[in-house]
Amino acid sequence: MGQSNIPRAQVVPEFWKGDEEEHRRKMATAINQIQKGVTNNHFKVTLEVNETTTEVMHPPVRPGSAVHLTPGSASAATSFADGNIWVEAKNEKAIIHHDASSVTDRIFHLSFAG
């Protein structure tokens, strides 16, 4: 299962060896995307079927990152309410620990900070 594609904010290089106006345009585009809610810290994740963990790879995640899950389907809400789900932040990934279930539509929204 894993993570799905969600619109991402454009990455702007810190240093620019070219047209300064183009660099400013890229910065404005990135800021506008963030103001519209398009950030690079949100994922739509379907839990792995018949497994006890689901990994979400993302380089900025590190130990100490706050990782938040929100159920995105009825079956995910049921699993979440049962209290059998927790998240561990590791280097460059978040590991969602959960029960092994044959349910195929346990969809969660995951976001992280820090």
Q: What is the mean pLDDT of residues 45-58?
A: 95
Rounded to an integer, the average pLDDT of 24-34 is 86
Q: What is the pLDDT of residue 57?
A: 92
Q: If you average pLDDT over every residue of the chain, what do you get? A: 88
Residue 8 has pLDDT above 70, yes or no: no
Q: What is the DSSP string of 36-80?
A: TT--SSEEEEEPPTT-SEEEEE-TT--TT-EEEEEE-SHHHHHHH
| Residues 63-89 pLDDT 10s | 999 999 999 999 999 999 999 899 999
For the chain, what are the domain ranges?
2-113
pLDDT at position 90 is 95
The DSSP symbol for 23 reads H
Edge-first strand listing for the sheet containing 86-90: 53-57, 93-97, 86-90
